[in-house]
A and B are shown apart, each in its own frame.
Chain A
Amino acid sequence: MPENNENIIGTEMGVLRNHPSKLLEESWAMLAFFAVTIFNNYRNISKNDEMINGKAPIIVFAVIAICLFYLLLRFFAWRKTTISIKDGLLIYKVDTINKKEHDISISTISNVNLVQNIFEMLIGTYKVKIDTNSLSTASKTDISIVLGKKEAYEFKQNIIAVQRGDSVSFAHGDNATGEKNYFSRPVVSEMEGIEEDRIVRLTSSQSVMAGIMEIPFISFIILIAAVVVPIFIGIGASNNNNTAESVGIYAILTSAFAIIGMVWGIAKNIFKYFNFTVGRDEDRVVLSYGLFTKKEYAIPVDKINGMIYETSFIGNIFKYTDVRILNVGGEAEEAFGQIMIPPVKDKSLQQYMDIILPEAKLEVKSSAGMPKKFFIYRIVKNLIIWNMITVIASKIITAEASDYWWIPVLAGAFITMLVFIYDIISGKNAMLGLTDSYIVIKNGGFTIKVSYFPSEKIQYLNRNTSPVERLLGVSRLNMSILSGGDNDQNSLSVDSAIFDKIEAVYKATY
């Protein structure tokens, strides 16, 4: 409860406006263009007398006029944009010539997140990201709110208060509608309100390891290709001294770029997981992380539509796994799962999950894998297909340029080998199972994913059976869940016997 009780009067919040820095952020490109245009034309005119009598001044004047007009429009849009809470609705209104009003029922808001990029960190503002429960309204509710630190936290607290049925604190009398800030609740980061034994904080070394362990398998392939292919090209060109030198330089540059690219990818991940903290606050999971882009997310536990335990290729070797959650909303890069726990040692992961989601009982009670006959059929089928593709590509390229016949052969052999290894690993990993209330899908070859979906969150189920699968007694499961990115979740082909149990568990939810 807020300390200043006499300020609580009901469910109405006065009017807020976006922080003025939003105006700068939206207009910086035009301001930059404006500055460059003035500077360039001023230099040209002052150097060249003929230009003063020519068309240059008119063009400069026209550009300046357009820039100023644009900036004036942006200023009016900023001035006329208001944000308020009234009667359980979040009202975002733009009162310019093109009037727009978004009325969002607060009960449909699944997340209220605070994000800061470097510019916002410097000036002390936050972007407030509102995510709703529905995909169909998601694009319409991508409103952008930028507030100062105090307003941002209090705004978020008031949204959460309305969701919980609490009153919104609102200063009456002289501090009524029109004032920017009149909340009486103390400004507190959500993490500060959580007990220490319900918080998981990663150390610096854990953040570094998380960044390294998240390198995708494809990055290794690209690195290998960037080093190996130039070597082969160099060998092919070694007879020609002139070509050999330029190919040698090309090979070194390509390899260097590939290595730099991978190092930069690791660095970005380490910055992303800087100061990673996750906590459990009653019915919400609260996250805070990032160095150059700082994010603070709160996700209601009942809005979690799935959990994915993901182990990357390198994570498999060193036993590191991360946990992502699926819900509606989040940033674009989190469309396929909001990170809840970054890659950590498997033995630490369970401890952390017991703190953050103790109620999630994930012990698999029954499961089915890929039967041996189908496992062999799948490998043989893919070997035949990839060999055919290699032969056809080789024939086409040989007919056009016989000296380069080895390129499709080498590429085809490499891809076929990768597919063969992937089929073996993924076939062994394929699993479809059940816990007390989750449907579990395990799949993946180089990156392994174990996904848990609460059966009451599944929107509909598909069972897919091809002619060969019918013959061999297997099927594939496809489910639709509510997620910001990947709604469709698929299993590999597994023994059909599990499907009756899955159907029974699913039917029990409606």
Chain B
Amino acid sequence: MYKKINPKAKWLMLLFEVIVAIITTIIIVVVFKLFLTNLKSPIVRYLCIAAIVLTWGYALISPFVRSVWYRYAFNKDEIRKREGFLTVVETIVPIERLQKLSLETGLFDRMFGLTRVKLTTAGGDVDIRYLEIEKAEAIAESLKNKINKYARNDSVEANKLTENTTSKNDINESPEDDNHAGE
């Protein structure tokens, strides 16, 4: 059911994490030099060193672990994703809830021939990353057809509603069954 991502993804992740680690190291060193050098206690120095070591440890190890964990699945009614390093997050997005779909390819993504599919719901976005461009385009096309189908079904139901005269009182009914009496 779940599919693995392209093996090139771990190198993309590594490149990104190394850049972040470099920036983080520079920030820690600058903050220490500017504000913390005069502190008498050596603990702050040790903490800064520990922070830098942890940052680089994460940058060099996490891409290989995350690329193993990262999986995705496009099913008939839902999209699933699993990702994480130490904490694994499993996401379920019903296709019916999707409002918008987009393909986004950043500079680093382009270097590795990868892209991301951004799924927008009313409550926020979910990204499926590290997909080959052709595969992502095929997935996007298929999802767009499904989104349009759900949208057409919703508008047919909405038109039926305006012709009916029953009123809705139960919060447990789905929105398609909404009706407002006009008297």
| A residues lining the B interface (CB < 8 Å) | 1, 133-136, 163-166, 282-283, 301-302, 304, 357, 359-361, 392, 395-396, 398-400, 436-437, 454, 456, 458-467, 470, 478, 480-483, 487-488, 503, 506-507, 509-510
Residues on A with beta carbons closer than 8 Å to the beta carbon of B171: 301-302, 304, 357, 359-360, 454
CA distance A483 to B122 in the complex (A): 9
Residues on A with beta carbons closer than 8 Å to the beta carbon of B40: 399-400
Q: Indicate whether B167 reaches chain A with its CB closer than 8 angstroms.
A: yes
A14 to chain B minimum Cβ distance, whole angstroms, is 22
Q: Indicate whether B168 reaches chain A with its CB closer than 8 angstroms.
A: yes
CA distance A136 to B89 in the complex (A): 25
| Residue from the list B121, B172, B174, B183 in contact with A460, Cβ < 8 A | B121
Q: Indicate whether B77 reaches chain A with its CB closer than 8 angstroms.
A: yes
Q: Indicate whether B57 reaches chain A with its CB closer than 8 angstroms.
A: no
B122 in contact with A482 (CB, 8 Å): yes
Which of B12-20, B22-30, B41-49, B107-115 is the contact stretch?
B41-49
Name the interface residues of B18-69: CB closer than 8 Å to any CB of A: 39-41, 43-44, 47
What 1/0 mask marks residues of chain B from 74 to 106 whose CB sits below 8 Å from any chain A CB? 000110000000111111111111010000000
B78 in contact with A1 (CB, 8 Å): no
Assess A282 versus B91: contact at CB under 8 Å? Given A481-B123, A482-B122, A487-B124. no
Assess A461 versus B43: contact at CB under 8 Å? Given A481-B123, A482-B122. no
CA distance A478 to B178 in the complex (A): 28
Residues on A with beta carbons closer than 8 Å to the beta carbon of B4: none
CA distance A480 to B119 in the complex (A): 13
Residues on A with beta carbons closer than 8 Å to the beta carbon of B169: 282-283, 359
- Give B171's nearest chain A residue, CB to CB: A359
A166 in contact with B122 (CB, 8 Å): no
B89 in contact with A462 (CB, 8 Å): yes
B181 in contact with A164 (CB, 8 Å): yes
B91 in contact with A399 (CB, 8 Å): no
Residues on A with beta carbons closer than 8 Å to the beta carbon of B90: 462-463, 465
Assess A302 versus B175: contact at CB under 8 Å? Given A459-B122, A467-B86. yes
A492 to chain B minimum Cβ distance, whole angstroms, is 14
CA distance A398 to B43 in the complex (A): 12
A359 in contact with B91 (CB, 8 Å): no
CA distance A398 to B42 in the complex (A): 12
CA distance A302 to B172 in the complex (A): 9
List 16 A-B residue pairs with CB atoms under 8 Å apart, sorted by A's residue number.
A136-B120, A164-B180, A359-B171, A361-B172, A398-B41, A400-B39, A400-B40, A436-B172, A459-B97, A462-B89, A463-B90, A478-B89, A480-B124, A482-B122, A509-B94, A510-B95
Q: A437-B172, A488-B124 are in contact. List 4 more A-B contacts (CB 8 A).
A: A134-B99, A166-B182, A360-B171, A460-B121
Kindly list the 5 A-B residue pairs having the minimum CB-CB distance in the complex, ordered from nearest. Answer: A459-B123, A480-B123, A399-B41, A510-B94, A459-B121
A503 in contact with B92 (CB, 8 Å): yes
- Give A435's nearest chain B residue, CB to CB: B172
Q: Indicate whether B6 reaches chain A with its CB closer than 8 angstroms.
A: no
Q: Indicate whether B126 reaches chain A with its CB closer than 8 angstroms.
A: yes
Assess A459 versus B43: contact at CB under 8 Å? Given A302-B171, A359-B169, A507-B78. no
Assess A460 versus B92: contact at CB under 8 Å? Given A282-B167, A399-B39, A467-B86. yes
CA distance A10 to B178 in the complex (A): 23
For chain B, give the interface size range. 35 or more
Residue picked from B78, B92, B126, most chain A C-beta under 10 Å: B92
A510 in contact with B77 (CB, 8 Å): yes
CA distance A458 to B121 in the complex (A): 10
B96 in contact with A1 (CB, 8 Å): no
CA distance A467 to B69 in the complex (A): 13
Residues on B with beta carbons closer than 8 Å to the beta carbon of A395: 41, 43
Residues on B with beta carbons closer than 8 Å to the beta carbon of A456: 174-175
Assess A462 versus B91: contact at CB under 8 Å? Given A164-B182, A283-B169. yes
- Give A282's nearest chain B residue, CB to CB: B167
What 1/0 mask marks residues of chain B from 143 to 183 whose CB sits below 8 Å from any chain A CB? 00000000000000000001000011111101100101111
B57 to chain A minimum Cβ distance, whole angstroms, is 16
CA distance A503 to B92 in the complex (A): 9
| Residue from the list B47, B87, B88, B92 in contact with A461, Cβ < 8 A | B92
B148 to chain A minimum Cβ distance, whole angstroms, is 16
A396 in contact with B180 (CB, 8 Å): no
B89 to chain A minimum Cβ distance, whole angstroms, is 5
- Give A436's nearest chain B residue, CB to CB: B172
A454 in contact with B96 (CB, 8 Å): no
Residues on B with beta carbons closer than 8 Å to the beta carbon of A396: 39, 41, 43-44
| Residue from the list A282, A357, A458, A464 in contact with B87, Cβ < 8 A | A464
Residues on A with beta carbons closer than 8 Å to the beta carbon of B162: 165
B87 in contact with A283 (CB, 8 Å): no
Residues on A with beta carbons closer than 8 Å to the beta carbon of B77: 507, 510
B180 in contact with A163 (CB, 8 Å): yes
Assess A465 versus B88: contact at CB under 8 Å? Given A283-B180, A456-B175. yes
- Give A478's nearest chain B residue, CB to CB: B89
CA distance A424 to B171 in the complex (A): 35
CA distance A456 to B97 in the complex (A): 9
| Residue from the list A302, A392, A480, A510 in contact with B43, Cβ < 8 A | A392
B123 in contact with A509 (CB, 8 Å): no
Residue picked from B86, B121, B175, most chain A C-beta under 10 Å: B121
A220 to chain B minimum Cβ distance, whole angstroms, is 33
B87 in contact with A465 (CB, 8 Å): yes
- Give B90's nearest chain A residue, CB to CB: A463
CA distance A134 to B101 in the complex (A): 16
| Residue from the list A135, A361, A463, A464 in contact with B122, Cβ < 8 A | A135
CA distance A359 to B168 in the complex (A): 11
- Give A469's nearest chain B residue, CB to CB: B87
CA distance A454 to B167 in the complex (A): 20
- Give B91's nearest chain A residue, CB to CB: A462
CA distance A301 to B120 in the complex (A): 25
